[in-house]
A and B are shown apart, each in its own frame.
Chain A
């Protein structure tokens, strides 16, 4: 089982700021890493897959990087609609996936 961790658990930021969220895997997952955004009462939304590829319709202010066991999601300039919870997910092991615990972005 691959265990995913994320840091920080909560991040208080102001609109317009640049933020970087971290995700770490307990072993290498190559680039088989996705990021999701979830707002209250909604299903998660895929933002980034294959560590750095933006999903369809995702604004350019979202970017992903990393490989192996260390990954980051960067939001270049936070908009009001970006305040949400962000989860990373590994899919290195086919059909045996795991998510990180999430990072909540709060308005400062």
Chain B
């Protein structure tokens, strides 16, 4: 069974940093691209970043480019999202998803709250 489990969410002050990670199991992690999607409360889904299967290619939405960095560790079946210079508008639930490239499996989400 495919499982994706996010960790690292929490409360952070504006301008601060936070790193989310997603632990994958139940599939050959190194053969799939992975993506991060966020959702502010009551809002829609926003794709924010993807990383290729070997990590050689990464892409970001304009809203986070230059502030967020996606990385992966195929030896440990983990993908992480380092978030710097956080803003109030980054407050959201962050999901990791397996990239088929449609997103066929999702984590349960990690809540990030940016507030003073």
Residues in chain A near residue B44, CB distance under 8 A? 87, 99-102
- A44 and B102 CA atoms in complex are apart in Å by 12
Taken residue by residue from 20 to 58, chain B's Cβ proximity to chain A (1 for < 8 Å, 0 otherwise) reads as: 000000000000010101000000111100111000011
Interface residues on B, range: 20 to 34
How long is the Cα–Cα vector from A38 to B43 in the complex, in angstroms?
A: 12
A105 at the interface (CB under 8 A from B): no
Q: CB within 8 A of A43: which of B57, B59, B101, B109?
A: B109
User: Which range contains the number of A residues in contact with the other chain?
Assistant: 20 to 34
Select one of B57, B58, B102 contacting A49, CB under 8 A.
Answer: B102
B-side contacts of A50, CB under 8 Å: 102
Which residues of chain A have a CB within 8 Å of any CB of chain B? 1, 32, 34, 36, 38, 43-46, 49-50, 55-56, 87, 89, 91, 94-102
**20 further contact pairs, Cβ within 8 A, besides A36-B45, A43-B95, A97-B47:** A1-B62, A34-B102, A34-B103, A36-B103, A45-B106, A49-B102, A50-B102, A55-B102, A55-B104, A87-B45, A91-B102, A95-B33, A95-B51, A95-B52, A95-B57, A96-B50, A96-B59, A97-B35, A97-B101, A99-B44
